[in-house]
């Protein structure tokens, strides 16, 4: 089947939004992007995007499908059976797609249960966003993530843990460089793994063609990860000029997850543990400063939310665009961070842009998100979510089957 999207604005994942262009799709792939007049006489199905913008579907490079955004999500997950966690993870993935996000990177699951969701979605048995998953996070004894992660101490054990993740089917390696907010008794500023341990784990993943991501909040842990060759720094809260300089030199991505702290601070009295709130309040200003510093320096930044952490709901992921804009990121740059940059970080070469040969994974929104980011960040302004050329969510999408019907209701 061939469809033509025309009438409105087009954002292709680059640096500008243009008018007067049409996008032709055939069998779930973009076959041509050209001035609208090129398609005069086309008599196939036409989707009118007038007074709106067609753009690539969004990418969220940091989610946790096995966590449900409760005030204390780890405790809530511990009360569920494995099958319940798996089914909830699928529902969360579908909520995420319905919210305009067509690709996600799960940065730490539980007992590899999220792999079943990934495989069902990527294999076409279930509707959902494209999923890349890290499996268990790798952390030191007593370190951040030790509640459900793979605990490993020393170079040899870290290497063994990386091999275990690869054997289990992990798409990327997640290593915890520092303490964090959600683990009691640890300090976000403290480096956990040594530089040698970090470098060994990253190198072993790279040897087997796996990219790597590091939870890294404190300065020393950030530097350990960057010097070890990490692909992305998650959070990056206590970055300084040395971190910025070395990250720029290596092309390291920052995935800032503004939504994580924002939702904790906005819901501090709603059942979130006191130690979580205290740490979030203490580091919030540093987080803002670090993101602005790396942005002004021209560093690579990709959208990520940490969805699943307190009140950070799967399906509201697109709000990260607005949160970043609130901190001074230009709307057009936020859009690029949420589309093409995410595709680059996740190595999804046929997604994240609207161009010939790319997957027809689109978000059609009202208005112009380049001048008003809320057109893309808020679900009430979304018209359609298109995955592989199929309309799967949005107010104008009819019931096209059991999966689509469930998603269209959100």
Determine the Cα–Cα distance for residues 6 and 354; give it in Å rounded to an integer. Answer: 13
Rounded alpha-carbon distances, angstroms, from residue 116 to 90, 133, 307, 358: 9, 11, 19, 26
Indicate if the pLDDT at residue 400 is higher than 50. Answer: no
Q: Which CATH class is domain 58-346?
A: alpha beta
Question: What's the confidence (pLDDT) of residue 51?
Answer: 97
Residues 163 and 200: beta-carbon distance below 8 Å = no
Three-class DSSP category at 358: coil
Q: Strand 232-235 vs strand 211-216: parallel, antiparallel, or unpaired?
A: parallel
Max CA separation in the chain (angstroms): 67
**Quick one: tokens of 196?**
């040698």
What is the 8-class DSSP label of residue 7?
Answer: S
Say which range, 43-47, 69-73, 343-347, 353-357, has the weakest mean pLDDT.
Answer: 43-47
What is the 8-class DSSP label of residue 15?
Answer: S
Buried b (16+ CB within 10 A) or exposed e, 252-267: bbbbbbbbbbbbbeeb
Closest residue by Cα to residue 345 from 195, 220, 230, 242: 230
Determine what percent of the chain is predicted with pLDDT higher than 90.
95
DSSP H or E stretch at residue 390: strand 390-393
Confidence of residue 92 (pLDDT cuts 50, 70, 90): very high
Question: What's the confidence (pLDDT) of residue 292?
Answer: 98
Question: What's the confidence (pLDDT) of residue 396?
Answer: 64
| pLDDT tens digits, one per residue of 219-247 | 999 999 999 999 999 999 999 999 999 99
| pLDDT tens digits, one per residue of 283-295 | 999 999 999 999 9
Closest residue by Cα to residue 245 from 191, 175, 298, 176: 298
> What are the start-end ranges of the E strands in 7-56?
9-11, 17-18, 21-26, 29-35, 45-48, 52-56
Indicate if the pLDDT at residue 395 is higher than 90. Answer: no
| pLDDT tens digits, one per residue of 108-121 | 999 999 999 999 99
Residues 65 and 106: beta-carbon distance below 8 Å = yes
Indicate if the pLDDT at residue 104 is higher than 70. Answer: yes
Question: What's the confidence (pLDDT) of residue 394?
Answer: 85
**Quick one: tokens of 106?**
């799960």
Confidence of residue 398 (pLDDT cuts 50, 70, 90): low
Determine the Cα–Cα distance for residues 282 and 89; give it in Å rounded to an integer. Answer: 31
| pLDDT tens digits, one per residue of 28-59 | 999 999 999 999 999 999 999 999 999 999 99
Report the chain's mean pLDDT, rounded to a whole number.
Answer: 95
Residues 343 and 103: beta-carbon distance below 8 Å = yes
Determine the Cα–Cα distance for residues 89 and 95; give it in Å rounded to an integer. Answer: 10
Confidence of residue 252 (pLDDT cuts 50, 70, 90): very high
Mean pLDDT calculated for residue range 64-71: 98
Question: What's the confidence (pLDDT) of residue 213?
Answer: 98
| pLDDT tens digits, one per residue of 158-213 | 999 999 999 999 999 999 999 999 999 999 999 999 999 999 999 999 999 999 99
What is the 8-class DSSP label of residue 178?
Answer: B
Indicate if the pLDDT at residue 375 is higher than 80. Answer: yes
Residues 7 and 56: beta-carbon distance below 8 Å = no
Residues 301, 304, 310, 313: is their CA dihedral positive or negative? Answer: positive
Please state which CATH number belongs to domain 2-56+350-408.
2.30.40.10
Indicate if the pLDDT at residue 397 is higher than 90. Answer: no
DSSP 254-320: EE--HHHHHHHHHTTTSS--HHHHHHHHHHHHHHHHHHHHHHHTT-EE-----BTBTT--TT-TTHH
Question: What's the confidence (pLDDT) of residue 311?
Answer: 98
What is the 8-class DSSP label of residue 57?
Answer: P
Question: Model pTM?
Answer: 0.95
Determine what percent of the chain is predicted with pLDDT higher than 70.
96
- What are the domain boundaries of the chain? 2-56+350-408, 58-346
Task: Report, in angstroms and rounded to the nearest whole number, the Rg of the chain calculated over CA atoms.
Answer: 21
Determine the Cα–Cα distance for residues 342 and 302; give it in Å rounded to an integer. Answer: 5
């Amino acid at each position: 089947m061939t469809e033509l999207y025309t009438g409105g604005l087009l954002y292709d994942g680059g640096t500008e939004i243009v008018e007067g262009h049409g996008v032709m799709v055939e069998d779930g792939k973009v076959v041509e992007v050209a001035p609208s007049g090129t398609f005069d006489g086309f008599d196939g199905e036409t989707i009118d995007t007038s007074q709106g913008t067609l753009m690539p579907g969004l990418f969220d490079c940091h989610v946790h499908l096995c966590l449900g955004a409760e005030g204390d999500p780890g405790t809530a997950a511990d009360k569920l059976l494995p099958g319940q966690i798996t089914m909830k993870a699928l529902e969360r993935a579908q909520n995420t797609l319905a919210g305009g996000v067509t690709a996600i990177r799960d940065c730490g699951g539980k007992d590899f249960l999220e792999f079943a969701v990934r495989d069902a979605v990527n294999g076409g048995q279930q509707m959902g966003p494209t999923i890349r998953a890290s499996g268990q996070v790798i952390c030191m004894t007593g370190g951040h993530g030790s509640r459900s992660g793979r605990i490993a101490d020393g170079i040899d054990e870290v290497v063994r843990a990386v091999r275990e993740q690869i054997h289990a089917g992990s798409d990327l390696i997640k290593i915890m460089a520092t303490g964090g907010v959600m683990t009691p008794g640890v300090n976000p500023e403290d480096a956990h793994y040594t530089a040698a341990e970090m470098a060994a784990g990253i190198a072993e993943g790279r040897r087997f063609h796996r990219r790597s991501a590091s939870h890294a909040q404190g300065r020393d842990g950030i530097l350990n990860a960057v010097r070890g060759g990490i692909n992305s720094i998650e959070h990056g809260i206590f970055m300084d000029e040395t971190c910025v300089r070395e990250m720029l030199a290596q092309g390291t991505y920052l995935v800032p997850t503004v939504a994580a702290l924002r939702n904790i601070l906005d819901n501090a009295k709603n059942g979130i543990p006191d130690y979580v709130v205290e740490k979030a309040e203490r580091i919030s200003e540093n987080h803002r400063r670090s993101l602005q510093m790396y942005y002004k320096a021209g560093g690579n930044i990709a959208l990520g939310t940490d969805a699943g952490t307190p009140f950070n709901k799967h399906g509201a992921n697109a709000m990260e665009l607005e949160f970043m804009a609130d901190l001074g990121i230009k709307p057009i740059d936020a859009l690029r961070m949420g589309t093409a940059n995410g595709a680059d970080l996740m190595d999804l070469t046929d997604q994240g842009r609207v161009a010939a040969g790319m997957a027809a994974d689109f978000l059609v929104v009202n208005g112009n998100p380049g001048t008003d980011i809320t057109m893309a960040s808020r679900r009430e302004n979304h018209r359609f979510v298109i995955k592989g050329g199929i309309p799967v969510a949005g107010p104008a999408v009819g019931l096209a089957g059991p999966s689509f019907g469930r998603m269209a209701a959100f």
